[in-house]
């Protein structure tokens, strides 16, 4: 008998199209697993069981009429920073508790039109600010491979849901590594598209020049299937690029002959967990065995990415989060005057990490400091982008680790913001440059915790990184391993 929650999206869709299973059965199997296991993982903030079953019934009707669509009837989960019409969207914050948007994010609208089924909204660091999903105002999500450890962040709920077989695929967002890092720590595949490739309409903004929506799944092919649906030009997002959208699954071939892979010397840093370096270098050797040509490259401004990111992202957050003052969204804490109400609402509604970043950003934008901090950070950001531009003149793909370590213990870094920020030291520069990246499972350390291989491509080079990731994945069995829950 088939265990429906073990099916990949591709396999589930084949059975759905053949009429061997129904979307209602598949959806119910996931809802049952969520009911049985999510008390332990705490991946979901909201489970939309009734809506999911209604959508599954509609999908079955479309399937019965012979409609073909790769995601028709497939259940998915969505990070709770993405607006969902009529369904609570909290961004993991008390300041948006009870907020039900009047519209859905464009990426979710596209998935709805394709017939995907929404299982619910997943937990995340508050307003996507964090690397461990411990900053959520509601709950701490646990890593399926070891429930005493973090799943990564900020899209930890989506990564844990996919790795824990609570959903075959999910959407997350990536501002400085928030898809790739949890994918690595949870042992699933996660892709951060190029800036402008996926519409940000309906994404509650953290840092508008850095945020991107992207997919999680168990395999590279499944990620490509989701990416096919969520990409495309959207006139309601001024940063959306009006470019042709290829069929990303067409790029998935198992041969790496002639693919030029660059290995940046700056990405194997001091303090990196030795097992991570060993496993990632073994993965690069495997790519050579598949025909890739590997050479060492340099990205000389890499060490500047962390300070640049923590000036630009908080500055944009300071502006974006100014709208949350209790007048239009979420709960209001009345305190006499308008200004007192603002202070009280924001003081109680925002958590400590959000307050920290708002204050950092406001300081960086303040009179007398704007030129010294924010403007200088933007200039260095250009240098970081130019590093990648030069690298991609020599190579097709860059291969490196996603995170310096495997998943750390819950609570281990909560009181040390710098150590927490260093969790993303290998992923931040990608967002500053606006290029694309993917994490694919490449091994396990001595504690049986997953390690991800990060593959980076030029802006709008998703086909290249998907092809490379697929060829590597198909030559190994790391992606087939399942955590015991």
d(CA 420, CA 432): 19
The mean predicted confidence, pLDDT, of the chain is 96
Tell me whether residue 429 is exposed, middle or buried, using C-beta atoms within 10 angstroms of its C-beta: 0 to 12, 13 to 18, 19 or more: buried
CB atoms within 10 A of CB 109: 18
pLDDT at 309: 96
Given 10, 79, 94, 121, the catalytic residue: 79
Q: Which residues contact 231 (CB under 8 A, 6 or more apart)?
A: 193, 197, 198, 245
- Starting at the edge strand that comes first in sequence, how are the strands of the sheet with 169-174 ordered? 44-47, 117-122, 75-79, 169-174, 212-217, 189-192, 436-444, 450-457, 397-401, 260-264, 293-297
Average pLDDT over residues 93-109: 96
Question: Tens digit of pLDDT for each residue in 337-354?
Answer: 877 887 888 888 899 999
Provide the sign of the torsion angle of the four alpha carbons 211, 164, 33, 8, taken in this order.
positive
Q: Is the pLDDT of residue 240 over 90?
A: yes
Question: Tens digit of pLDDT for each residue in 420-472?
Answer: 888 899 999 999 999 999 999 999 999 999 999 999 999 999 999 999 999 99
d(CA 198, CA 434): 12
**Is the CATH number 1.10.20.10 carried by domain 4-251?**
no
Tell me whether residue 334 is exposed, middle or buried, using C-beta atoms within 10 angstroms of its C-beta: 0 to 12, 13 to 18, 19 or more: exposed
d(CA 45, CA 90): 9
318 is catalytic: no
CA distances from 107 to 231, 280, 338 (A): 8, 32, 36
d(CA 217, CA 11): 13
3-state secondary structure of 295: strand
Buried b (16+ CB within 10 A) or exposed e, 291-322: ebebeebebebbebbbebbbbbbbbbbbebbe
C-alpha closest to that of 180 among 402, 329, 379 = 402
Residue 103 contacts residue 194 (beta carbons within 8 Å): no
DSSP readout, 96-123? GTT---SS--HHHHHHHHHT-EEEEEE-
154 is catalytic: yes
Question: Tens digit of pLDDT for each residue in 156-178?
Answer: 999 999 999 999 999 999 999 99
Given 131, 136, 154, 240, the catalytic residue: 154
Average pLDDT over residues 200-223: 98
pTM over 0.85: yes
Given 104, 178, 184, 423, the catalytic residue: 178
Question: Tens digit of pLDDT for each residue in 173-193?
Answer: 999 999 999 999 999 999 999
pLDDT at 344: 81
d(CA 262, CA 330): 47
DSSP state of 413: S
DSSP readout, 421-459? HGGGTTTHHHHHHT-EEEEEEEEE-TTS-EEEEEEEE-T
CB atoms within 10 A of CB 209: 17
- The bridge status of strand 169-174 relative to strand 75-79 is parallel
pLDDT category at 335 given cuts 50, 70, 90 is confident
Give the whole-number percent of the chain exceeding pLDDT 90: 90
- What are the strands, taking DSSP E only, across 54-195? 75-79, 117-122, 169-174, 189-192
| Domain boundary assignment for the chain | 4-251, 303-378
Average pLDDT over residues 366-390: 94
Residue 273 contacts residue 404 (beta carbons within 8 Å): yes
Residue 223 contacts residue 189 (beta carbons within 8 Å): yes
Element spanning 88, H or E: none
């Amino acid at each position: 008998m088939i265990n429906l929650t073990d099916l990949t999206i591709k396999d589930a869709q084949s059975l759905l199209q053949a009429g061997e299973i129904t979307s209602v059965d598949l959806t119910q199997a996931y809802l049952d697993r969520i009911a049985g296991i999510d008390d332990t993982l705490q991946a979901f903030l909201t489970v939309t069981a009734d809506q999911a079953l209604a959508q599954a019934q509609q999908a079955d009707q479309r399937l019965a009429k012979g409609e073909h669509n790769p995601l028709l009837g497939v259940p998915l989960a969505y990070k709770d920073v993405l607006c969902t019409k009529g369904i609570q969207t909290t961004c993991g914050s008390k300041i948006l508790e009870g907020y039900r948007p009047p519209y859905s994010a464009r990426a979710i609208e596209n998935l709805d039109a394709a017939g995907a089924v929404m299982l619910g909204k997943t937990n995340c660091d508050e307003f996507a600010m964090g690397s461990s999903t411990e900053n959520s105002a509601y709950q701490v999500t646990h890593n399926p491979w070891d429930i005493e450890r973090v799943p990564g962040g900020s899209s930890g709920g989506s990564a844990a849901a996919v790795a824990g077989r609570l959903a075959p695929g999910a959407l997350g967002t990536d501002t400085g590594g928030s898809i790739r890092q949890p994918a690595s720590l949870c042992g699933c595949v996660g892709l951060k598209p190029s800036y402008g490739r996926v519409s940000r309409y309906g994404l509650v903004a953290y840092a508008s020049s850095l945020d991107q929506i992207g997919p999680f799944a168990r395999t590279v092919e499944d990620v490509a299937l989701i990416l096919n649906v969520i990409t495309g030009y959207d006139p309601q997002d001024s940063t959306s690029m009006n470019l042709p959208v290829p069929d990303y699954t067409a790029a998935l071939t198992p041969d790496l002959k002639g693919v030029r892979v660059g290995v940046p010397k700056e990405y194997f840093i001091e303090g990196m967990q030795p097992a991570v370096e060993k496993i990632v270098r073994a993965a690069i050797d495997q790519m050579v065995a598949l025909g890739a040509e590997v050479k060492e490259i340099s990205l000389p401004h890499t060490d500047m990415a962390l300070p640049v990111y923590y000036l630009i992202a908080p500055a944009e957050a300071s502006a974006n989060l100014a709208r949350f003052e209790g007048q239009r969204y979420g709960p209001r804490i009345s305190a006499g005057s308008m200004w007192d109400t603002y202070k009280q609402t924001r003081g109680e509604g925002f958590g400590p990490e959000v307050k920290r970043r708002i204050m950092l950003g406001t300081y960086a934008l303040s009179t007398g400091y704007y030129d010294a901090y924010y403007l200088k950070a933007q200039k260095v950001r250009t240098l970081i982008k130019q590093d990648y531009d030069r690298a991609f003149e020599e190579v097709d793909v860059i291969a490196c680790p996603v995170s310096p370590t495997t998943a750390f213990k819950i609570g281990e870094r909560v009181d040390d913001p710098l150590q927490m920020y260093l969790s993303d030291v290998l992923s931040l520069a990608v967002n500053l440059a606006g290029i694309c990246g993917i994490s694919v499972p490449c091994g396990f350390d001595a504690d049986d915790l997953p390690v991800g291989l990060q593959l980076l491509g030029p802006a709008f080079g998703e086909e290249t990184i998907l092809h490379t990731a697929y060829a590597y994945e198909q030559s190994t069995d790391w992606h087939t391993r399942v955590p015991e829950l």
